[in-house]
Structure 1
Amino acid sequence: MSLSTLRALQVDMNEAINTLVRCHECTPHNKKIISERRSDLVQILDNLKDDLIPTTTRIRQLGLQSTLTMSIRIAIDLDLFNLIPDRGVSMEELIIHKAGADPHIVVRVVRNCGVNITPACYRALYRLPVGHINDSVNSPGLYEQGDYFSQSDVSQFLAMSAPNVPPSTAPVVLGIDGGQAPVPASDLNNNGESDIDIDIVLSLVYPQSVIVYQVDDENYAVAEVEKANTFNTFLDALDGSYCNYTAYGITGNSPDYDPTYPDPADGGCKGQLQCGVYKPTRVICISYGEAEQDFQKVYAQRQCNEFMKLGLQGHTILAASGDYGVASYPGDITPSGCLSGNGQNQTIYNPDYLSGCPWITSVGGTRLYPGQTILDRESPMELQLDIASAFVGSGGGFSNYYTTPSWQKSAKKNYFRQHDPGHPYYIANSDASNIGANVGIYNRAGRGFPNVSANGAFLPTPVNGTVYRYSGTSLSSPLWASVITLLNQQRTIAGKGPIGFLNPVLYAHPWVLNNIVNGTNAGCGSSGFKAVPGWDPVTGLGTPDYPRMLELFLSLP
């Protein structure tokens, strides 16, 4: 569910040309944040100058990719980077000269970040350093299933948007149960999801190596993406004991949901189920998901226990929160992606999975609007396309399966005490069979998500040679994976272990994040929730502020 979305939106190429954005009002920055941002401008310029290439590449074709695993994909007739004559501009506009370029041509980076986001924009927004470390323990891992990256696409992105990274740079692929990559750019299963994950992480952590876990043979993987990503075979490969682990009346994988190996079908993996064949990376990024209700509660609980085990062993698990606000993608359980029950018809909020699992760090989406700069506060990711049902918003809400974890209770209590949305609610019972009771549209007692957020709007990305602009929380999760990787590198240098399970520390120290305070994640015929001061079920605690996070995590054991 994250980029994990837009499944039912196959439309004529002409229909998506106009992108509408909702009216918004930006709250002025806290003076301290302004001061910090201004004091960083010289360093930002230094970091960015090698990341930018003046280009007149144009995006000509119009298209909309719409599968369970994909973000929205739009191509419009638009300059990839806005080249303007150098007439002299304020420092605040961050007009950056490309070394060796025509002195009369410059790249207006900051204003374009609301139109075309780039690695340079990410660094400026979140004060990220340029990567310079490649150690043996901090390679981030990217979960990929049913979508396959093209190295030529990745190389084109790096040459276009991250010239500090050699275009030939490639991830290390670890195949699980017949998973193989890369594929030719023209392959029908190269839809951009894997490309985007790799593009973002490589561009931000290089020269650190990056690992791709390519999960399941093509027979199963593609079908799972169209129905439900199950994750069990991935977890089996990381922890051999999980293959036979018993919990909630389930031992091992569930044939009703999970692939079975050997796969006798043509082209299937003929080997045995892989158990414990790979060491899990310290950071694992998952840009796939679906509705919590797609699985029985006991199945999800058993799986969540394994994520708990990984977190307590020092692994950070980041998952995109979804792209349809309080709903799932259209067609997930109901045509609208909203739930029905207790006399209600598709008006009940439909929470995301994996985001409901408390041991996951759920990542929501933010955006800048055209004309905004990095000195402006971001807003929740909201995109309203001129297409029926094509609203895209940061996934957020409350789980029907998991209750509020202890580390979130105070933040959630403050949210309802100070910013109660006023919607009717229910308290889910132990088997979640009373969803929609009391005319309620969300579970007030559930674990809230997302935990954090990051920019998820308008990343120009080549797929099969055509540059599209992608949006979705599947941009946000690899961005956060990059941030945690950079922090882990510094902790390694300091002789400390990995960050591991992230959530309790962030809730105890929200000052290390940029809080988002305006915007909503509407859906299911309602206004959804609002982004407000403090934690909220739209953008969580906020976006990363790397120097503050570094200060915090280096101070911890």
Structure 2
Amino acid sequence: MRLFSTLCSLALAASSLALPTSDHVVHERRTTTPARWQKTRRVTGTEHVLVRIGLTQSNLENAYEYLMNVSDSVSPNYGKFWTADEVANTFAPSNETVAAVRNWLVGAGVAESRLAQTKNQGWIVFGASAKEAESLLHTKYYHYTDKISGTKAIAAEEYRVPQHVQQHIDFVKPGVLLPLTSKGPSAKHTSKSRPLGKTSVNASSLATCDEVITPACVAALYKIPHASANVSANNSLGIFEEGDYYAQEDLNLFFRNFTPYIPQGTHPKPAFIDGAEAPVNTSDAGAESDLDFQLAYPIVYPQTITLYQTDDLNYASGEIETDGFFNTFLDAVDGSYCTYCAYGECGDSPTLDPVYPDNYTDGYKGQLMCGVYKPTNVVSVSYGGQEYDLPAYYQQRQCNEFLKLGLQGTSILFASGDDGVAGPPGDDSDNGCLGNGTIFSPAFPNSCPYVTNVGATKLYPNHTIADGESAVVDPIGHPYSIAFSSGGGFSNIYPIPDYQASAVAEYFTKHNPPYPYYEGNASFGQNGGIYNRLGRGYPDVAANGDNIAEFNAGEFILEGGTSASTPIFSSIINRIIERRIAVGKGPLGFLNPVLYRHPGALNDITNGSNPGCGTEGFYTAPGWDPVSGLGTPNFPKLLDVFLNLP
């Protein structure tokens, strides 16, 4: 991938590269070394290395088809979700692959007793001297040092494997990959709040929804009925938080002022991961966590909410710097992900993700939590970053996991970002854009085709609920200290998925953006192009995300962001699943195939844009657009669509 070519450039060799004196062929070759890495010296033959052979997984080429088979409403298998074991077994390496690699190693002199296979069957591991490993792989190992961080690593410039086992091997470590570090900040939510002092808002009035969005406004906008008093014990709404913590007193203040039917003390069920803790004192409360719960509870109550609070304070606060995102949550809800191999990465990244036990002061001293929680039917995530901030393979491995969770019936919704077609200012350039500061910067993990992205809308001044919403466009100072517009655009990693192909094609045909474009990341920025015409488009849907009433740190404030839109849409989906459970049906899993088949179940947004990178960004339009997606929820219509499915 071009964006990450400065980090690592790999070339898988064809069998024609076999050495004339050996049946070994070049499996991987690094054509360049990242500038920050310096080769220091050869590895001595007596040094110990842990050889890890990633085995080729089965059926990956069929993964998208499997997901559509249970997610697309026209499929006879819609809603027939898989178990975790079925997912693991389907994608595990074949018996033929395992036998071929083991036989090669034993035949080369590695005793059978030295070989271990991981629980998820993804790789074979054994310890060896460097001399033995070099002989086995026909390679030379070198020590490398990261000139910025001081991190040390062992790697080769190329290595070989026997031609007859090449098809069974994904990659080998130590191999050609050097540990990759992100180029940007951790994925975090940026608060856009403004204090208003004591609330004087009429909690039940709809006359001022253009000024303050209350629970009553949300219910009226999307025609959300009162919830039933009888709820399923197995349909808690999942909310993800990282480095931001709620305060119970803030929730109580909100309930007291806006939703007195919710009892004081109502709080999320803890699903704490790797030493995380919550709640915190009021003075330390985060605007994001408070916002998520204060938006979700009025919609789902008396349904419960499960809080996936991740990572100990050292990592969550940034005291120990890590630039990865979301992997420790995925580990906790799917134990196989802890060692899952894909795209040259096995398990979490030691340079991008938290490492446990955390031996720093007050760190979580336990082992990395793997498979300790069953994922809820819906998970709402109000955090994100940019594609350019992380290696492509890191994102692709994670994207595969979203697919696996969708196969098991979990719906995952992400906030689409708050910087329009750009990233956060200063992320890659002063204006958050790529290249020379003019190329649009797509968001991560939003561009993964197996998640549902939620953009932001608002009621413009002097507009009523009957007038309808528009896309958020808030310049600096109006009303927040930073600019805010709904994140949207096209991926530089993933192509347009089939389920949205016709919607994207219609947008380009009828509402063609007035900007030059490139086609595929291999042609990044060519001919002055500023976005990828062939990339997965996002967001998929939208909801209100501006002037949201909130209590934070004991004060009444107005908050904005797609981080507000996401818990609204997620809560509506959770309510719909509740109704399905009541009539003997189940969860919804991956939402997008059904949503794109039924755009009439959403309120189309046709006013506004998402500026950035010196442009007005993309524009909303009838149908899908890369600002508001398919539109905002219409609860009765969405309920009708999903209740009529198996």
With normalisation by structure 1, the TM-score equals 0.80
Whether 1:397 aligns to 2:479 is no
The corresponding residue for 1:178 is 275
Equivalent residue in structure 1 for 2:339, among 224, 236, 244 = 244
Q: Which amino acid aligns with 1:386?
A: G
The corresponding residue for 1:356 is 447
Whether 1:145 aligns to 2:234 is no
Q: Note closer, same or farther for the CA distance 1:491–1:224 as it changes in structure 2 (3 Å cut).
A: farther
Cα displacement (A) at 1:335: 2.2
Contact 1:70/1:192 (<8 A) preserved: no
Q: Which amino acid aligns with 1:178?
A: G
d(CA) in 1 for partners of 2:240 and 2:198?
32
Equivalent residue in structure 2 for 1:158, among 255, 260, 272 = 255
The corresponding residue for 1:85 is none
Cα displacement (A) at 1:339: 0.8
Q: SS in structure 1 opposite 2:253?
A: helix
Q: SS in structure 2 opposite 1:489?
A: helix
The corresponding residue for 2:461 is 370
Q: Deviation string for 1:400-442 (max 9, x for gaps)? A: 111100000000000000000120011223xx5x432221111
Contact 1:73/1:468 (<8 A) preserved: yes
How does 1:411-490 map onto structure 2 within 5 Å? 411-429=503-521, 434-490=523-579
Cα displacement (A) at 1:77: 6.6
Identity across the alignment (%): 50
Contact 1:399/1:443 (<8 A) preserved: yes
Q: SS in structure 2 opposite 1:366?
A: strand
Q: Deviation string for 1:290-318 (max 9, x for gaps)? A: 11111111110000000001111111000
The corresponding residue for 2:233 is 136
Q: Note closer, same or farther for the CA distance 1:385–1:76 as it changes in structure 2 (3 Å cut).
A: farther
The corresponding residue for 1:410 is 502
Q: SS in structure 2 opposite 1:112?
A: coil
Q: Deviation string for 1:309-364 (max 9, x for gaps)? A: 11111110000000011011112122211111xxxx11111111111001110000
Whether 1:230 aligns to 2:325 is yes
d(CA) in 2 for partners of 1:307 and 1:518?
32
Whether 1:501 aligns to 2:590 is yes
Q: Deviation string for 1:219-242 (max 9, x for gaps)? A: 111229987451111000000000
d(CA) in 2 for partners of 1:288 and 1:224?
19
Q: SS in structure 1 opposite 2:224?
A: coil
The corresponding residue for 1:255 is 350
Equivalent residue in structure 1 for 2:619, among 524, 530, 533 = 530
Q: SS in structure 2 opposite 1:453?
A: strand
The corresponding residue for 2:420 is 325
Cα displacement (A) at 1:80: 3.9
d(CA) in 2 for partners of 1:452 and 1:68?
21
d(CA) in 2 for partners of 1:80 and 1:350?
40
Contact 1:68/1:225 (<8 A) preserved: no
Q: Deviation string for 1:380-400 (max 9, x for gaps)? A: 011123389822000000011
Q: Note closer, same or farther for the CA distance 1:227–1:191 as it changes in structure 2 (3 Å cut).
A: farther
With normalisation by structure 2, the TM-score equals 0.69
Q: SS in structure 2 opposite 1:409?
A: helix
Pick which of 253-262 and 133-142 moved more. 133-142
Whether 1:124 aligns to 2:216 is no
Q: Note closer, same or farther for the CA distance 1:382–1:491 as it changes in structure 2 (3 Å cut).
A: same
How does 1:63-102 map onto structure 2 within 5 Å? 68-76=188-196, 80-81=200-201
Contact 1:111/1:371 (<8 A) preserved: no
Cα displacement (A) at 1:158: 1.2
The corresponding residue for 1:300 is 395
Q: Deviation string for 1:76-129 (max 9, x for gaps)? A: 4796426xxxxxxxxxxxxxxxxxxxxxxxx77223111100111010000001
Q: Which amino acid aligns with 1:406?
A: D
Contact 1:289/1:320 (<8 A) preserved: yes
Q: Which amino acid aligns with 2:219?
A: R
Which has the larger Rg?
Answer: 2
RMSD: 1.8
d(CA) in 1 for partners of 2:421 and 2:622?
19
The corresponding residue for 1:86 is none
The corresponding residue for 2:158 is none
d(CA) in 2 for partners of 1:266 and 1:448?
44
Contact 2:198/2:556 (<8 A) preserved: no
Equivalent pairs counted in the alignment come to 458
Cα displacement (A) at 1:520: 0.5
Equivalent residue in structure 2 for 1:287, among 365, 382, 390 = 382
Q: SS in structure 2 opposite 1:347?
A: coil
d(CA) in 2 for partners of 1:475 and 1:163?
21
**Unaligned runs of at least 5 residues, structure 2:** 1-186
d(CA) in 1 for partners of 2:582 and 2:378?
17
Q: SS in structure 2 opposite 1:259?
A: coil
d(CA) in 2 for partners of 1:226 and 1:80?
42
Contact 1:224/1:230 (<8 A) preserved: no
Q: Which amino acid aligns with 2:455?
A: G
Whether 1:539 aligns to 2:614 is no
The corresponding residue for 2:607 is 518
Q: Note closer, same or farther for the CA distance 1:399–1:389 as it changes in structure 2 (3 Å cut).
A: farther
Contact 2:380/2:414 (<8 A) preserved: yes
Q: Note closer, same or farther for the CA distance 1:226–1:410 as it changes in structure 2 (3 Å cut).
A: farther
d(CA) in 1 for partners of 2:307 and 2:513?
40
Q: Note closer, same or farther for the CA distance 1:375–1:213 as it changes in structure 2 (3 Å cut).
A: same
d(CA) in 2 for partners of 1:422 and 1:547?
37
For CA contacts below 8 A with separation 6 or more, give which structure has more relative contact order: 1
Contact 2:323/2:353 (<8 A) preserved: no
Q: Deviation string for 1:503-533 (max 9, x for gaps)? A: 0101001010000011100100011100000
Q: Which amino acid aligns with 2:206?
A: V
d(CA) in 1 for partners of 2:197 and 2:239?
32
Cα displacement (A) at 1:547: 0.5
d(CA) in 1 for partners of 2:307 and 2:503?
35
Q: SS in structure 1 opposite 2:309?
A: strand
How does 1:336-347 map onto structure 2 within 5 Å? 336-340=431-435, 345-347=436-438
d(CA) in 2 for partners of 1:120 and 1:235?
34
Whether 1:113 aligns to 2:202 is no
Contact 2:197/2:556 (<8 A) preserved: no
d(CA) in 1 for partners of 2:643 and 2:220?
22
